[in-house]
């Protein structure tokens, strides 16, 4: 039999070694439940002036846990006094690498107290963090507070309570008594003899003790004290008596003065306090037991990642369990991987190893077979009474078997038995379940690593594809490049225009019996979410998969793929990654186009600025020289615009400019360009336009300006313009501006301008 090794409770919280903590393993603790252990596993990292907490496990029994979440400063949990002390200890721990132990009260929570136990740990990034646990000690703390309150109440009660006072002769006959004596004992104003009074309120033993104390006066001391139970009209009370002799007159005999204090409530309180202390000791023992179990669990979690084989796992579990549990035999059976149908068996006493394993794993008989079949833990405190029990050793009386399960997949079973009846309590069973859950998480992680290796090749291809995309310039070129990488055999890219989808690029899918209308409706539906669907056609079954291309809640398009075989998880991930990256590149192109446009637009009138118009003139100059073309330009000046600003202010002046710009844009062809040349001057470029056509356009503009609706007839503006045609008037666009400018000012001087009515409102 393996004997249980006891640990020193005062050192339990300081024995956790400061090792590097694997964040993935701790995060997996969130999948684990342990209803009877009020524990929170937490890690703390200092970020600038804040201590950010990361929660890896919270016991469901902790009601205030809703206040906890990752990336919150641990100091925010506590009241101001506790916050200062915890911060001081963290700063001190960071310097001297000392563990932190502190009892604190939660901020904003009514009577919630916790014990904080943290150890400094250097993580994989060589950053100092703290890792440990928070234990809810509210019940213990409330017991202490309640005890203190009861003591204070008792002290106050002694101060204000009046004493009983009476005098007797040396024979004990009652002579006089005060009101407290009457009210507490409940007697009327009568004088009773000693033989009548004292036996009436005291039992025989107490009466004899009282007489003995009277006899001892002067012989041993001037005062004697005794405590007796007194039978009163209101029931039995406990009175603490103080006796002394007095002589009031020389000619009188001595009297006995008895001063009594009713300590009934005190004795009851003492009894209650003793009972509370015993309960508190029991609770403290339970808390110490929980901490010991949690320490062992933490040790298992830390060391598990260093195991290489199933045998290493078994030796770790058997060694750690031996320090906290009493068992006769311990065994573990484990699967090699998820594709394996057999179990590796490890048995301390080689009892299960030597038995027919088909009996349990194939026929699923016995308690072990039942656990394998149902994937549920089993415990019996008297196993010989169980019908399903197959005897493996006559000395076994208790047996516990816990499945190692993750997402309904059975990795194995942990089993213990003991010669003791009811050998394991609920806390110990929950601890073993927690260990089994973490072992399953560990094996699941190993399995995931193998899957990650298989996906590494695809990820490299994705990286190469996105690296090449950086060299593309247009949205269509980016889409064509993604299609060309052939990460999926049949892939199409759709672009969203005015809430409609248009095909941008696609790979050949001639071997797919695709119904086009069905696919189009499917792609339209995919603008809001990732969708997969199976379609049955005359040519066979077709599998559709689509993913929206979304950036900042704006749907830019859809990625669509189709196959004759089901999509695997890796393909679903690829199309999601492609959609996310495509959204980023498309959005970047939108921002570039928008930025270029904003740099060339006059912000007041929403027409081209001078820089853009000069660029247009240069491009048109090159076109005319290359193709022997023709073009006209016009300059327009608002004759008395300064008077508007001086009379009505710049706000109305800006409004006048906007009205003129709106009329000019409305009369331009798609190939024409209009922009602000400077101040209140406008420049118009009309490619492939002769002087007569240009004159017609300017007259039409002038006519429309005169017909523009106004709010009031407050003011009229004169518009003067000049036209130059290339190559009729000059051979250069820039020289054409000079010609148009001279003609505009000649018109202004000859007062040939047109009157424009402006809305001054």
- Give per-residue pLDDT as tens, 360-382: 777 788 888 889 889 999 999 99
In this structure, of 47-51, 484-488, 578-582, the range with the lowest mean pLDDT score is 484-488
pLDDT of 137 > 70? The answer is yes
Nearest residue to 412 via CA among 472, 365, 345, 318: 345
Active-site choice (136, 430, 475, 680) = 680
The pLDDT score that the predictor gives to residue 631 is 94
Helix, strand, coil fractions of the chain, as percent rounded to 5: 45, 25, 30
CATH classification number, 9-136, choose in 3.40.50.1820, 3.20.20.140, 3.40.50.11540, 3.30.450.20:
3.30.450.20
Which three-class secondary structure string do you get for 103-122?
A: EEEECCCCCCEEEEEEEEEE
How confident is residue 683, by pLDDT bands cut at 50, 70 and 90?
A: very high
The pLDDT score that the predictor gives to residue 154 is 37
- Give per-residue pLDDT as tens, 158-171: 344 467 888 888 88
Average pLDDT (283-290) is: 84
CA distance 499 to 181: 97
Average pLDDT, the chain: 78
Nearest residue to 527 via CA among 564, 554, 566: 554
Which residues on adjacent β-strands are paired with residue 379? 400
Each domain of the chain, given as residue ranges in start order, spans 9-136, 157-262, 307-449, 470-595, 603-757
How confident is residue 519, by pLDDT bands cut at 50, 70 and 90?
A: low
- Beta strands in 538-629, from DSSP E residues, in sequence order: 540-551, 554-563, 601-602, 607-608
- The three-class DSSP label of residue 713 is coil
The pLDDT score that the predictor gives to residue 574 is 80
CATH fold, domain 470-595, is: Beta-Lactamase (3.30.450)
Quote the Cα angle for 223-225-229, to 5°: 150
The whole-angstrom distance between residue 594's C-alpha and the CA centroid of its chain comes to 37
CATH architecture of the domain with residue range 603-757: 2-Layer Sandwich (3.30)
pLDDT of 448 > 90? The answer is no
Cis peptide before 204 (omega within 30 of 0): no
**Residues near 479 by beta carbon (within 8 Å), at least 6 away in sequence:** 493, 495, 504, 505, 582
The pLDDT score that the predictor gives to residue 420 is 93
The better pLDDT of the pair 530, 325 is held by 325
Indicate the Cα dihedral angle 278, 283, 285, 291, nearest 10°.
Answer: -160
First CA to last CA distance, the chain: 101
The better pLDDT of the pair 15, 450 is held by 450
pLDDT of 14 > 80? The answer is no
CA distance 416 to 396: 10
Tell me the C-alpha to C-alpha distance, in Å, between residue 186 and each of 175, 304, 341: 17, 74, 86
Q: What is the CATH number of domain 157-262?
A: 3.30.450.20
- The three-class DSSP label of residue 257 is strand
Provide the 8-state DSSP code for 579.
Answer: H
pLDDT of 760 > 60? The answer is no
Q: Residue for token digits 């949990």? A: 77
Question: Following DSSP, what letter does each residue of 384-405 receive, concatenated?
Answer: GG-TT---S-TT--EEEEEEEE
Q: Are 113 and 104 in contact (CB under 8 A)?
A: yes
In this structure, of 162-171, 321-330, 331-340, the range with the lowest mean pLDDT score is 162-171
CA distance 56 to 29: 6
The better pLDDT of the pair 312, 342 is held by 312
CA distance 87 to 97: 14
The pLDDT score that the predictor gives to residue 617 is 92
**Residues near 337 by beta carbon (within 8 Å), at least 6 away in sequence:** 447, 450
Which residues on adjacent β-strands are paired with residue 85? none
pLDDT of 512 > 60? The answer is no
Nearest residue to 165 via CA among 239, 275, 75, 69: 239
pLDDT of 342 > 90? The answer is no
Q: Residue for token digits 């068992």? A: 327
Nearest residue to 12 via CA among 297, 322, 428: 297
The pLDDT score that the predictor gives to residue 460 is 64
Average pLDDT (383-402) is: 88
CA distance 531 to 536: 17
Task: Please say if 735 is a catalytic residue.
Answer: no
How confident is residue 247, by pLDDT bands cut at 50, 70 and 90?
A: low
The pLDDT score that the predictor gives to residue 251 is 59
Nearest residue to 18 via CA among 126, 129, 124: 129
Residue 716 tokens read as: 């009229």
Nearest residue to 331 via CA among 314, 310, 308, 354: 314
Helix (H) or strand (E) holding 697: helix 691-706
- Give per-residue pLDDT as tens, 655-678: 878 888 888 888 888 889 999 988
The better pLDDT of the pair 449, 368 is held by 368
CA distance 337 to 543: 31
Quote the Cα angle for 225-229-231, to 5°: 130
| Domains 157-262 and 603-757 in one fold | no
The pLDDT score that the predictor gives to residue 187 is 72
The better pLDDT of the pair 557, 395 is held by 395
Q: Please give the share of the chain, as a percent, with pLDDT higher than 70.
A: 77
Nearest residue to 262 via CA among 243, 227, 238: 238
- Can you list the pairs that 49-54 forms with residues at least 24 positions away whose Cβ atoms lie under 8 Å? 50/75, 51/75, 51/87, 51/90, 54/23, 54/26
Residue 587 tokens read as: 């959005």
How confident is residue 17, by pLDDT bands cut at 50, 70 and 90?
A: very low
Q: Are 222 and 254 in contact (CB under 8 A)?
A: no
The pLDDT score that the predictor gives to residue 690 is 93
CA distance 594 to 455: 38
Average pLDDT (238-261) is: 79
Q: Please give the share of the chain, as a percent, with pLDDT higher than 90.
A: 13
- Give per-residue pLDDT as tens, 728-752: 999 899 999 999 999 988 888 875 4
- Specify which of 66-75, 429-438, 576-585 reaches the highest per-range mean pLDDT: 429-438
The whole-angstrom distance between residue 454's C-alpha and the CA centroid of its chain comes to 31
CATH fold, domain 307-449, is: Beta-Lactamase (3.30.450)
pLDDT of 30 > 50? The answer is no
Q: Are 339 and 345 in contact (CB under 8 A)?
A: no
Helices in 601-690 by DSSP H: which ranges?
A: 610-627, 641-648, 650-666
Indicate the Cα dihedral angle 733, 734, 740, 742, nearest 10°.
Answer: -150
The better pLDDT of the pair 497, 471 is held by 497
The pLDDT score that the predictor gives to residue 526 is 57
Q: Are 535 and 518 in contact (CB under 8 A)?
A: yes
């Amino acid at each position: 039999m393996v004997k249980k090794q006891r640990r020193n409770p005062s050192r339990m919280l300081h024995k956790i070694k400061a090792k590097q903590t694997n964040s993935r393993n701790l995060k997996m603790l969130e999948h684990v439940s342990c209803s009877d252990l009020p524990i929170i596993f937490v890690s703390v990292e200092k970020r600038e002036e804040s201590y950010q907490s990361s929660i890896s496990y919270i016991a469901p029994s902790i009601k205030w846990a809703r206040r906890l979440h990752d990336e919150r400063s641990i100091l925010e949990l506590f009241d101001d006094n506790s916050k200062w002390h915890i911060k001081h200890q963290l700063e001190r721990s960071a310097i001297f690498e000392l563990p932190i132990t502190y009892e604190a009260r939660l901020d904003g929570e009514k009577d919630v107290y916790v014990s904080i136990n943290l150890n400094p740990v250097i993580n994989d990034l060589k950053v100092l963090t703290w890792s440990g646990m928070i234990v809810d000690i509210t019940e213990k703390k409330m017991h202490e507070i309640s005890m203190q309150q009861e003591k204070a109440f008792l002290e106050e009660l002694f101060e204000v309570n009046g004493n009983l006072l009476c005098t007797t002769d040396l024979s004990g006959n009652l002579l006089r008594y005060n009101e407290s004596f009457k009210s507490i004992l409940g007697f009327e104003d009568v004088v009773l003899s000693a033989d009548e009074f004292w036996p009436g309120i005291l039992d025989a033993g107490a009466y004899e003790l009282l007489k003995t104390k009277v006899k001892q006066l002067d012989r041993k001391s001037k005062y004697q004290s005794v405590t007796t139970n007194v039978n009163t009209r209101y029931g039995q009370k406990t009175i603490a008596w103080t006796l002394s002799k007095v002589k009031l007159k020389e000619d009188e005999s001595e009297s006995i003065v008895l001063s009594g204090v009713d300590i009934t409530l005190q004795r009851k309180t003492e009894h209650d306090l003793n009972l509370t202390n015993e309960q508190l000791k029991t609770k403290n023992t339970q808390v110490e037991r929980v901490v010991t179990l949690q320490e062992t669990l933490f040790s298992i979690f830390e060391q598990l990642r260093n195991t290489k084989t199933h045998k290493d796992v078994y030796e770790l579990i058997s060694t750690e369990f031996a320090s906290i549990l009493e068992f006769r035999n311990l065994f573990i059976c484990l699967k090699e991987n998820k594709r394996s149908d057999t179990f590796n068996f490890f048995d301390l006493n080689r009892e299960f190893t030597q038995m027919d394993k088909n009996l349990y794993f194939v026929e699923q008989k016995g308690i072990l077979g039942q656990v394998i079949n149902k994937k549920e833990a089993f415990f019996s405190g008297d196993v010989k009474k169980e019908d399903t029990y197959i005897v493996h050793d006559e000395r076994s009386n208790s047996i516990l078997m816990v499945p190692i399960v993750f997402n309904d997949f059975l990795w194995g079973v942990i089993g213990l038995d003991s010669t003791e009846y009811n050998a394991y309590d609920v806390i110990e069973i929950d601890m073993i379940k927690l260990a089994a859950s973490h072992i399953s998480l560990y094996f699941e992680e190993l399995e995931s690593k193998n899957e990650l290796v298989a996906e590494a090749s695809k990820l490299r291809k994705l990286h190469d594809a996105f690296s090449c995309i950086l060299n593309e310039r247009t949205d269509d070129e980016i889409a064509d490049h993604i299609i060309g990488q052939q990460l999926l055999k049949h892939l199409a890219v759709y672009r969203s225009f005015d809430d409609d989808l248009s095909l941008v690029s696609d790979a050949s899918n001639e071997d797919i019996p695709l119904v086009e209308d069905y696919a189009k409706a499917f792609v339209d539906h995919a603008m809001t979410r990732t969708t997969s669907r199976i379609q049955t056609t005359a040519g066979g079954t077709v599998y559709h998969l689509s993913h929206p291309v979304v950036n900042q809640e704006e749907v830019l398009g859809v990625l669509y793929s189709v196959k004759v075989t089901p999509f695997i998880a890796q393909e679903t991930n690829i199309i999601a990654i492609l959609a996310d990256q495509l959204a980023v590149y498309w959005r970047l192109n939108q921002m570039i186009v928008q930025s270029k446009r904003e740099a060339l637009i006059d912000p007041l009138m929403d027409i081209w600025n001078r820089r853009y118009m000069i660029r247009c003139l240069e491009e048109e100059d090159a076109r005319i020289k290359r193709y022997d073309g023709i073009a006209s330009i016009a300059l327009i000046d608002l004759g008395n615009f300064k008077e508007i600003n001086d009379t009505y202010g710049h706000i109305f002046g800006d409004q006048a400019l906007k009205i003129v710009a709106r009329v000019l844009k409305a009369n331009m062809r798609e190939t024409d360009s209009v922009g602000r040349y400077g101040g209140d001057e406008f420049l118009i470029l009309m490619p492939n336009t002769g002087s007569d056509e240009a004159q017609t356009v300017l007259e039409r503009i002038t006519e429309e300006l005169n017909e523009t609706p106004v709010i009031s007839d407050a003011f009229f503006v004169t518009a003067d313009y000049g036209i130059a045609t290339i190559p009729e008037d000059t051979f250069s666009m820039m020289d054409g501006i000079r010609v148009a400018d001279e003609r505009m000012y000649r018109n202004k001087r000859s007062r040939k301008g047109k009157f424009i009515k402006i809305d001054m409102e």
